[in-house]
A and B are shown apart, each in its own frame.
Chain A
Amino acid sequence: MSGECKTDSRLEKLLRSGKFAVTGECGPPRGADPEVIRKKCALLKDKADAFNITDNQTSVVRMSSISSAVIMMQQGLEPVMQMVCRDRNRIAIQSDILGGAALGIKNMLCLSGDHQKFGDHPQAKNVFDLDSIQLIQTVRRMRDEGKFLGGEEIKGVPRLFIGAAENPFADPFEIRVPRLAKKVAAGVEFIQTQCIFNLKKFGEWMKGVVDRGLHEKVFILGGVTPFKSFGMARYMAKNVPGMDVPDELLQRMKDTPKEQQADEGIKIAVETIQQLKEMPGISGVHIMAIEWEEKVGEIAEKAGLLPRPTV
C-alpha cells in the first residue's frame, strides 16, 4: 500500500505508516443541542484515532452529520463524516462534500443507507440517485481529477480520505469478497466492516480478501460492538438484517447473571479485538459502542490499544 498521503487526515497518516488504527462512533442527537455531542466527545477523546458521525442512522432524523462533525472538531477530535445515498441526489451530495471539506472534515464514509422503512419517517420519498459504489467514484473523481460528475472543473478540490462499509455476513456470501473488490475498483481507501460476532465466518471472508490481495489495496478495519445485555444480543441476532450472532455467544450472554452481562459483553469485544489483531490483512478496528460511548476507552484499554500513537 502506498505510504503517500492524499489528505491531511490523521487516520490516513496512521494507516499509511502501518499503525494499527482504532476508530469509534458518535451518533448525533435528536435535537439541536450541541452539548450532547460535546459530552460524547469528552468520553471519546484520545480513546481512538477518528470517530464516525452517523448520517441519520436507521433512517431516524438526527442532527446532520456535517454539523455534528464540526462540533466534534471544535472539541479536538477527528471525525469521519458518514454520508448516505438515501437522502440526497448527486447535486446535494457533491455540495455537501465541498461543504464538509471546507469546514475541515478530512474523512468520509460512503454508504447506501438503511431503507427509510426502519426509521421515524417511513412515508418519505427516497433518493438513491447514486449507490455507495458510485458515491466512492464520485468523491475520488472530485478529489483526484478535480471534476464534478457533470464534467466541470472544481476550484478547490475536497481532500477527503475515502472510506466505505462492507458486511461480510450479508447474503449471498459468495459475492461478499467480489463486492469489496468492486469498492476497491471504485477507489475506496479504507473499509469498516459490519459488527463481527462470527469470527469464523469473518476469517473465511478475510481469507478470500487476502487471497485476492485486496488487503494490499485497502485498509480493513474490523467492526466490533459490545453487547450491553443478553437482551441486546438477542435483538441483534433476531431483528437486525445482515447481522450474524452465533448461538454460542448468545448462550454465553444468557448464562451470565444479569448484573454481569455488560462486563461480559465488553470481555467478548476485547477478545474479538485480540483475535482481529492477529488476523492477516486487518489494519485496525472500528469500535461501535452504540449509545455506550463511555465504554470505548475501557474496551480499547483492555485490548491494549491505548494510548493512541501520535502522528
Chain B
Amino acid sequence: MVVGERKPFEEIMKMLEGHKKVMVLGCGGCVTVCLTGGQDAVRVLSSQIRMARDKDGNPIEIIEKTVERQCDPEYVDQVQEIVPDVDAVLSMACGAGVQFMAERYTKTPLYPALNTTFVGGSVKEGYYVERCQTCGECKLAYTGGICPIARCSKSLLNGPCGGSTKGKCEIDPNVDCGWQLILDRLRDLDQMDRYEQILEIADWRTSRDGGPRKMIREDFQR
C-alpha cells in the first residue's frame, strides 16, 4: 500500500489561513489502512482545526467527508455538490488522490494534509515499513525476494558495501543492511551461487527517470 504520514499541524493551519469554509476529505484506500487518512483521521483532524481556530477567535466551518478512493474519477465525482460550496479542500489522501481531486476541481484550492512517504506494508498495527521504490523493472527473482533498491540505503545492485556491520546499515544501527537480508535469504534458499552473478547496470527508464509513467490495458480502452 501507499503509506502516508500526517503533516505537522502548524503546516496544515498555515495552508488554511484565510479560508472560512473547507472540506476535509478522507480516502478509504491505503491511507485508511495505515490509519492516517480515513474517516477516523478526518474526524480527529477536523476537530483539531475547529478548536484551534475557535481559540484564535477565527472560527472555521468544516464539512467532513470520506470517499472510497480519491485516485478514481468515479469516487472523486461523488463530492461535486460539495466542492463549489467550500473555499478549499484539505485532502487526506496520498499525493495521487490529491492530484486527482485537483485535476477534477480546477477552481478550488486543494491542499495535502499528508506527506506521502513510501510503498510498503505494516509489520504490525501502526508500524509501517518501506518495501518498494516502484522502479518498474522488478529484480526480486535475483535477490531472494528482497529488494536491493528499496532496502539498501545506496540501492546497490551488487552490494553489500563496506559499511555493513553486524547485519546493520552504516547509516543507522536501527536499519537492517538490505544486502545482509538478501544473503541470509539466498543461503536459506541454497542459492548463494547467485551472489557472484553481477547484476547488470539498470535501465532506469522504467523508473521515474523516464518521465511520468502510464500503464494502459488496451483491452479496456474503447
Query: B201 touching A90 by the CB < 8 A rule?
Result: yes
Residues of chain B within 8 A of A149, CB atoms compared: 201
Query: A170 touching B154 by the CB < 8 A rule?
Result: no
Query: A117 touching B196 by the CB < 8 A rule?
Result: no
Known: A115-B154, A242-B165, A242-B170. A175 touches B183 (CB 8 A): yes
B157 within 8 A of partner (CB):
yes
Query: A241 touching B198 by the CB < 8 A rule?
Result: no
What is the size, in residues, of chain A's interface with B at 8 Å between Cβ atoms? 36
For residue A88, give the distance in angstroms from its CB to the closest CB of chain B. Answer: 13
Known: A112-B154, A114-B163, A165-B162. A241 touches B170 (CB 8 A): yes
Query: B158 touching A133 by the CB < 8 A rule?
Result: yes
For residue A193, give the distance in angstroms from its CB to the closest CB of chain B. Answer: 10
State in angstroms the CA–CA spacing of A214 and B105 once bound together. 65
Query: B165 touching A170 by the CB < 8 A rule?
Result: yes
Query: B162 touching A167 by the CB < 8 A rule?
Result: yes
Q: In the complex, which residues 166-222 of chain B have their Cβ closer than 8 Å to any Cβ of chain A?
A: 166-167, 170-172, 177, 180, 183, 195-196, 198, 200-202, 204
Query: A182 touching B161 by the CB < 8 A rule?
Result: no
State in angstroms the CA–CA spacing of A103 and B61 once bound together. 68
Among residues of B, the one whose C-beta sits closest to the C-beta of A193 is B162
Residues of chain A within 8 A of B159, CB atoms compared: 131
Query: B183 touching A134 by the CB < 8 A rule?
Result: no
Residues of chain B within 8 A of A172, CB atoms compared: 160, 164, 167, 180, 183
**Beta-carbon contacts of A158-179 to B below 8 Å, as 1s and 0s?**
0000000111001110010011
Query: A128 touching B164 by the CB < 8 A rule?
Result: no
A194 within 8 A of partner (CB):
yes
Query: A171 touching B196 by the CB < 8 A rule?
Result: no
A126 within 8 A of partner (CB):
yes
Among residues of A, the one whose C-beta sits closest to the C-beta of B186 is A175
Residues of chain A within 8 A of B154, CB atoms compared: 85-86, 112-113, 115, 126, 128, 131
Known: A170-B160, A181-B196, A242-B163. A115 touches B201 (CB 8 A): no
**Beta-carbon contacts of A90-112 to B below 8 Å, as 1s and 0s?**
10000000000000000000001
Residues of chain B within 8 A of A279, CB atoms compared: none
**Beta-carbon contacts of B49-89 to A below 8 Å, as 1s and 0s?**
00000000000000000000000000000000000000000
Chain B, interface residues (CB within 8 Å), range: 20 to 34
Residues of chain B within 8 A of A170, CB atoms compared: 160-165
Known: A171-B165, A242-B162, A242-B164. A128 touches B155 (CB 8 A): yes
Query: A171 touching B164 by the CB < 8 A rule?
Result: yes
B153 within 8 A of partner (CB):
yes
Contact of A134 among B157, B160, B161 (CB under 8 A): B157
Among residues of A, the one whose C-beta sits closest to the C-beta of B160 is A170
For residue A20, give the distance in angstroms from its CB to the closest CB of chain B. Answer: 24
Residues of chain B within 8 A of A114, CB atoms compared: 163, 170
Query: A115 touching B163 by the CB < 8 A rule?
Result: yes
Query: A117 touching B171 by the CB < 8 A rule?
Result: yes
Residues of chain A within 8 A of B183, CB atoms compared: 172, 175
B135 within 8 A of partner (CB):
no
For residue A187, give the distance in angstroms from its CB to the closest CB of chain B. Answer: 10
Contact of A129 among B167, B172, B204 (CB under 8 A): B204
Residues of chain B within 8 A of A130, CB atoms compared: 201
For residue A13, give the distance in angstroms from its CB to the closest CB of chain B. Answer: 28
Residues of chain B within 8 A of A118, CB atoms compared: 170-171
For residue B190, give the distance in angstroms from its CB to the closest CB of chain A. Answer: 14
A186 within 8 A of partner (CB):
yes
A68 within 8 A of partner (CB):
no
State in angstroms the CA–CA spacing of A128 and B167 once bound together. 21
Query: B167 touching A115 by the CB < 8 A rule?
Result: no
For residue A236, give the distance in angstroms from its CB to the closest CB of chain B. Answer: 13
Query: A134 touching B163 by the CB < 8 A rule?
Result: no
Known: A112-B156, A115-B171, A149-B201. A178 touches B165 (CB 8 A): no
State in angstroms the CA–CA spacing of A178 and B156 once bound together. 16
Query: B163 touching A137 by the CB < 8 A rule?
Result: no
For residue A125, give the distance in angstroms from its CB to the closest CB of chain B. Answer: 12
For residue B133, give the distance in angstroms from its CB to the closest CB of chain A. Answer: 12
Query: A131 touching B177 by the CB < 8 A rule?
Result: no
Residues of chain A within 8 A of B158, CB atoms compared: 131-134, 182
State in angstroms the CA–CA spacing of A133 and B202 once bound together. 13
State in angstroms the CA–CA spacing of A115 and B155 once bound together. 11
Residues of chain A within 8 A of B167, CB atoms compared: 171-172
A232 within 8 A of partner (CB):
no
A5 within 8 A of partner (CB):
no
4 A-B pairs with least C-beta separation: A167-B162, A241-B170, A241-B163, A133-B158
Q: Knowing that A134-B200, A134-B201 touch, tell me 4 more A-B residue pairs with CB under 8 angstroms.
A: A128-B155, A170-B162, A185-B196, A242-B164
Q: Provide 8 A-B residue pairs closer than 8 Å at the C-beta atoms, listed in order of the A residue.
A: A130-B201, A134-B158, A134-B201, A170-B163, A172-B167, A175-B160, A182-B158, A241-B165
